[in-house]
């Protein structure tokens, strides 16, 4: 440390990005972390999730995120660091690595374990601690997911659990309690993200399937996340696990308030599940957080800003870029320009620092301007 | 003050079906769950309103107060019965019951009705619309919120064309449950009544997105939709998301030439609900109502005799300044031209 920059050895943490998609270079690298029989079984397949449904694009990534030799986005360490640390000026980021899933819970668990071993051996082995890991869990085997979470719970690089968006039942169902219990015990927030769908029909809604990617991408997450939020609240999950926290990634933010307001309205009129104690708004304020990307935008910036304020973005909303995907949000431009500086700081940094227990300063490194 | 009540839900008694349905459908109705279905029945609040139990005089007394000029009857059906012939027979019976019981003397002349359409058989739906459209006191058509494919699908187009040709708005309503419907969330069946009640408010936007992206609304500028189970508060957040994906993904739907929200706002309105315009579910916010365009997009509907009925003062607490008249009657009259003609209305034989 004695040779550190004499002017500045630490930098204040001002930008936390909670949704960064990094990946093994290719399927072979991931399979290398899998034991037999999975290594042999997958050795010839190369691709874990290649089913076609809605995506009209090829690799849905920023073109400038491909490496110089055509490396896939989110795989080339120098490029990733330069784009996140130098260009985006991100201080700390959460890795969200999603290899897809299938109908076989044992295979899903093996892939999740391999992703976790890969994170630990690569990105989390760096000493800069600017990229933190998410323990990927396959929740179609709850007992197995608890074991995988326990395997990493003491690791300093893993700061949250990560599960897929889908389930056989909304996630307040008591079948998931053992996992919530383990996550709460270890004070690890549980993030949720789309991860293909091995169990459910993609794009199915209560009134039939979406036809286009535009409809699917705009609405499927609000529909799914609203079902989970209502399920946690009405199922009394937060009464049972007061230390449990959820983070809903990439599903939007503003829709949640009308849904929760409706639950609150019902609650006040006595429409509540037997035994539920914590009211819907308190459940959201204390236990549920939302990532910002894709940030809500409208013709009237003022309307967006006012709804962000009414929906309590100052405590519930956490910035995310979705790097390196095509619909990436640039942290320098994502939020309405007229937002109050205090609210901006809450969204860009403070809410995430509180949720994940992140430091107020970090060591300066070569990506910082002198 | 002049009021149009755009959402009254009379209970169709079992006897209405027993008297009107031919077999085998009369027999099949015995297998259909009763009021409120069997799905979340235990949690439905009992508000002690005799009208909720089917007392028609009590319903008329509570809805047709002196300041109400007109009230639209939207009977809830018995769910999306899986056999289209069965559903068509039940809808015909419902419409006949409504016509005979509520839309002819000695019933109060302020009642008007909506024609239920059996959407799973578009040919039958169009036939039913054309059978009853000549009855002036049918002022709208009524389709179920829950279907097997969103409403932008091509096969529904003849239904919407017939509605436009007859200048009838399309009301969309969540019916009583039938056991053969799709699961009520994309991630499995919710457990509690409150979940189901909150989640269904998102479903209008699946239909609206479908109607926009398919080009249906572009082809039918005269199509007017009213979602009778609310959703006004959700319109801005969800339609903005749709706009964003349209901007980046419009190569997939090149015929959609303006932001989906702009198209949807022109065609869709929502019946008011008790929690509208209350960001915490409790305290009214006129500001939220303003962003939600409640002044233009919300219709007052009492929702009687439901447990979640609202009164005009509940709705007026959250309308933007100057919009009270529009929400209580103007927005409904804009969308229901047959109500505007009520003064010179002639009884159809």
CB interface of A with B, residues 262-301, below 8 Å:
262-273, 280-281, 294, 296-298
Handedness of CA A295, A298, A303, A305 (dihedral sign): positive
B138 bridge partner residues: B113
Encoded tokens for B215: 């080009």
Say if the Cβ atoms of A205 and B190 lie within 8 Å. Answer: no
Do A216 and A251 contact (CB within 8 A), yes or no? Answer: no
Handedness of CA B329, B334, B335, B341 (dihedral sign): positive
Short-list A173, A25, A159, CA closest to A99: A25
Residue of B nearest to A202 (CA): B186
Rounded to whole angstroms, the Cα distance separating A115 from B12 reads: 57
Place A45 in a pLDDT band, splitting at 50, 70 and 90.
Answer: low
Which residues of chain B carry a pLDDT beneath 50? Answer: 35-36, 343-349
Residue A354: in which H helix or E strand, if any?
Answer: helix A351-356
Encoded tokens for B227: 């979602």
| Letter string b/e over residues B186-199, b meaning 16 or more CB atoms within 10 A of that residue's CB | bbbbbbbbbbbbbb
At residue A51, the pLDDT reads 63
* Close Cβ partners of A160 (under 8 Å, ≥ 6 residues apart): A94, A134, A135, A188, A189, A190, A191, A247, A356
CB interface of A with B, residues 12-41, below 8 Å:
none
pTM above 0.90, yes or no: yes
Please tell me which of the candidates B148, B184, B281 has its beta carbon nearest to residue A261.
Answer: B281
At residue A1, the pLDDT reads 39
pLDDT at A46 over 60: no
- Within an 8 Å CB–CB cutoff, is residue B284 touching chain A? no
* Close Cβ partners of A98 (under 8 Å, ≥ 6 residues apart): A21, A136, A162, A164, A193, A194, A195, A196
A14 — phi, psi (to 5°)?
-125, -15
CA distance B101 to chain A (A): 32
Do B80 and B91 contact (CB within 8 A), yes or no? Answer: no
pLDDT at A2 over 50: no
Say if the Cβ atoms of B206 and A173 lie within 8 Å. Answer: no
Say if the Cβ atoms of B198 and A170 lie within 8 Å. Answer: no
- Give the angle subtended at the CA of A162 by the CAs of A156 and A165, to the nearest 5°: 170
Please give the share of chain A, as a percent, with pLDDT higher than 70. 94
Chain B residue numbers touching A212 (CB-CB < 8 A): 213, 249, 252-253
Rounded to whole angstroms, the Cα distance separating B75 from B89 reads: 15
Residue of B nearest to A310 (CA): B279
Give the C-alpha distances (Å, rounded to integers) separating B52 from A268, B10, B303, B305: 21, 8, 11, 5
Rounded to whole angstroms, the Cα distance separating A121 from A33 reads: 10
At residue B32, the pLDDT reads 52
- Residues B306, B307, B309, B310: what is their CA dihedral angle, to the nearest 10 degrees? -170
Please tell me which of the candidates A167, A235, A262 has its beta carbon nearest to residue B201.
Answer: A262
pLDDT at A183 over 70: yes
| Rg of chain A in Å (alpha carbons) | 20
Say if the Cβ atoms of A310 and B190 lie within 8 Å. Answer: no
Rounded to whole angstroms, the Cα distance separating A196 from A102 reads: 8
- Whether a cis peptide bond, with omega within 30° of 0, leads into B78 is no
Return the number of other C-beta atoms located less than 10 Å from residue A314's C-beta: 17
Encoded tokens for A202: 């993609």
Q: Which ipTM value was assigned to this complex?
A: 0.94
Residue B114: in which H helix or E strand, if any?
Answer: strand B111-116
| Letter string b/e over residues B80-97, b meaning 16 or more CB atoms within 10 A of that residue's CB | bbeebebbbbbbbbbbeb
Return the number of other C-beta atoms located less than 10 Å from residue A270's C-beta: 8
- Within an 8 Å CB–CB cutoff, is residue A172 touching chain B? yes
Rounded to whole angstroms, the Cα distance separating B273 from B228 reads: 9
Chain B residue numbers touching A235 (CB-CB < 8 A): 191-192
Rounded to whole angstroms, the Cα distance separating A137 from A146 reads: 8
Return the number of other C-beta atoms located less than 10 Å from residue B46's C-beta: 8
Interface test with A, best of B203, B281, B310 (most A CBs within 10 A): B281
Three-class HEC string of B275-294 = CCCCCCCCCCCHHHHHHCCH
Residue of B nearest to A228 (CA): B187
Do A262 and B275 contact (CB within 8 A), yes or no? Answer: yes
Average pLDDT for A243-267: 96
Give the C-alpha distances (Å, rounded to integers) separating A130 from A58, A293, A361: 30, 20, 11
| Rg of chain B in Å (alpha carbons) | 19
Give the C-alpha distances (Å, rounded to integers) separating A305 from A226, A298, A348, B231: 22, 10, 15, 21
Say if the Cβ atoms of A210 and B210 lie within 8 Å. Answer: yes
Please tell me which of the candidates B195, B206, B213 has its beta carbon nearest to residue A234.
Answer: B195
- Give the angle subtended at the CA of B13 by the CAs of B11 and B16, to the nearest 5°: 125
Q: Report H helices in A86-212.
A: 105-121, 142-152, 177-185
Place A270 in a pLDDT band, splitting at 50, 70 and 90.
Answer: confident
Short-list A167, A188, A336, A340, CA closest to A254: A336
């Amino acid at each position: 440390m004695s040779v550190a920059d004499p002017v500045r050895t630490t930098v204040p943490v001002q930008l936390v990005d909670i949704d960064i998609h990094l990946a093994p270079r290719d399927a072979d690298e991931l399979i290398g972390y899998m034991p037999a029989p999975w290594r042999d079984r997958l050795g010839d397949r190369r691709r874990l999730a290649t089913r076609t449904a809605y995506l009209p694009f090829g690799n849905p990534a920023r073109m400038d995120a491909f490496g110089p030799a055509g490396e896939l986005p989110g795989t080339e360490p120098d490029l990733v660091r330069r784009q996140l640390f130098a260009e985006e000026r991100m201080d700390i980021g959460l890795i969200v690595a999603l290899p897809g899933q299938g109908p076989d819970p044992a295979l899903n668990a093996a892939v999740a374990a391999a992703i976790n071993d890969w994170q630990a051996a690569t990105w989390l082995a760096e000493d800069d601690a600017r990229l933190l890991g998410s323990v990927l869990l396959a929740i179609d085997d709850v007992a197995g997911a608890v074991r995988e979470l326990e395997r990493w719970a003491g690791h300093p690089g893993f700061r949250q659990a990560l599960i897929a968006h889908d389930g056989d039942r909304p996630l307040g169902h008591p079948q998931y309690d053992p996992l919530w219990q383990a996550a709460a015990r270890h004070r690890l927030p549980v993030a949720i993200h789309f991860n293909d769908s091995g169990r459910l029909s993609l794009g199915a809604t209560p009134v039939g399937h979406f036809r286009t990617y535009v409809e699917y991408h705009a609405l499927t997450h609000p529909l799914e996340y609203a079902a989970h939020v209502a399920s946690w609240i009405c199922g009394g999950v937060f009464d049972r696990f007061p230390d449990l926290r959820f983070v809903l990634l990439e599903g939007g933010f503003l829709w949640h308030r009308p849904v929760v307001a409706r639950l609150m309205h019902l609650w006040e009129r006595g429409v509540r599940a037997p035994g539920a104690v914590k009211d819907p708004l308190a459940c959201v304020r204390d236990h549920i957080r939302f990532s910002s990307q894709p940030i809500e935008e409208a013709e009237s910036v003022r309307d967006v800003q006012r709804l962000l304020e009414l929906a309590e973005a100052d405590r519930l909303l956490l910035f995310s870029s979705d790097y390196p995907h095509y619909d990436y949000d640039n942290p320098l431009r994502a939020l309405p320009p007229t937002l109050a500086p205090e609210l901006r700081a809450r969204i860009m940094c403070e809410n995430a620092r509180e949720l994940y227990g992140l430091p107020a300063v970090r060591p300066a490194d070569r990506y910082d301007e002198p | 003050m002049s009021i149009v009540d755009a959402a009254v839900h009379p209970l169709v008694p079992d006897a209405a079906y027993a008297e009107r349905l031919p077999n085998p459908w009369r027999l099949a109705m015995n297998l259909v769950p009763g009021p409120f279905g069997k799905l979340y029945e235990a949690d439905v609040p009992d508000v002690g309103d005799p009208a909720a139990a089917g007392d028609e005089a009590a319903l008329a007394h509570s809805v047709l107060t002196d300041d109400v000029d007109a009230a639209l009857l939207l009977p809830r059906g018995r769910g999306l019965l899986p056999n289209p012939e069965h559903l068509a027979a039940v809808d015909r019976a419902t419409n006949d019951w409504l016509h005979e019981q509520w839309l002819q003397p000695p019933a109060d002349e302020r009642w008007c009705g909506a024609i239920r359409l059996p959407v799973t058989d578009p040919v039958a739906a169009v036939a039913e619309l054309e059978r009853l459209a000549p009855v002036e006191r049918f002022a709208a058509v009524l389709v179920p919120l829950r279907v097997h494919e969103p409403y932008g699908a091509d096969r529904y187009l003849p239904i919407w064309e017939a509605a436009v040709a007859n200048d009838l708005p399309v009301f969309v309503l969540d019916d009583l449950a039938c056991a053969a419907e799709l699961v009520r969330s994309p991630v499995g069946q919710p457990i509690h009544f409150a979940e189901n009640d909150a989640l269904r408010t998102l479903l209008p936007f699946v239909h609206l997105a479908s109607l926009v992206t398919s080009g249906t609304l572009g082809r039918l500028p005269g199509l007017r939709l009213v979602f009778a189970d609310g959703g006004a508060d959700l319109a801005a957040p969800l339609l903005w998301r749709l706009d964003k994906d349209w901007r980046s993904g419009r190569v997939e739907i090149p015929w959609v030439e303006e932001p989906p929200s702009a198209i949807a706002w022109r065609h869709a309105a929502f019946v008011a609900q008790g929690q509208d315009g209350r960001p915490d579910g409790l305290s009214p916010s006129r500001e939220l109502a303003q962003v939600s365009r409640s002044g233009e997009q919300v219709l007052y509907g009492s929702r009687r005799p439901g447990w979640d009925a609202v009164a005009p003062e509940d709705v007026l607490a959250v309308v933007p300044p100057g919009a009270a008249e529009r929400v209580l009657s103007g927005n409904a009259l804009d969308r229901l031209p047959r109500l505007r003609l009520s003064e010179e209305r002639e009884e159809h034989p």
